[in-house]
Amino acid sequence: MLIGYARVSTPDQNPDHQTDALRAAGVAERDIHLDIASGAKSSRPRFDLVMQLLREGDTLVVTRLDRLGRSLQHLVNLGAELRDRGVGLHVIEQGINTATAEGRAMFGMLAVLAEYQRELILANTADGLAAARARGRVGGRRPKLTADQAKLAQRLYDEGGHTVAQIADMLGVKRGTLYGHLDKASVGTRPRSGPTELPAAASA
């Protein structure tokens, strides 16, 4: 069975391009589910329903990966969950179809890219903090986050595995500064999985 999922960020955006593509890919009208929600939001009611409806042997169909996941890491985790459940994935515009060996290999590359992105951001963060300490910046007003640090902070916050205090401490900023860089729509909506240990690079 094919189950389609589409998403637009605001009510004034037109989802017809997505729904037309899903129908052309063979998804029945009754099996197309649409959310109106920002990609950063963890709460997407129709997506949650889709994940409940999917059964072994089904295929989840979307037009693009950015319609599906909140972040690269979320996509990797979602891909692993679908594989474990025996559910296929077809991403129309990006040529990913886990029914083929090529499609499975392409989707698997996301795991490699996600790990590389994580290590690169952590390394840049550690280098920046080390450079600041070398210049004697140990007190006074805390620096604001760089774009890469803000992305890392948002991802760690969305995943729910670290407290706000842990993330702020890892990035060398106050909690108020951290909140200022988070997507306001995501504050208070993240999963509550409890704190975990910080990445090893954070103590550098």
Catalytic residues: 9
The residue with tokens 């704190």 is 195
SS3 144: coil
Strands (E) in 22-160, as ranges, are: 32-36, 59-62, 88-91, 96-97
Query: DSSP assignment, residue 42?
Result: S
SS3 8: strand
> Using CA atoms, how far apart are residues 180 and 4, in angstroms rounded to an integer?
36
CB 89 within 8 A of CB 107: yes
CB 167 within 8 A of CB 178: yes
> Using CA atoms, how far apart are residues 98 and 108, in angstroms rounded to an integer?
10
**AA letter at 120:** L
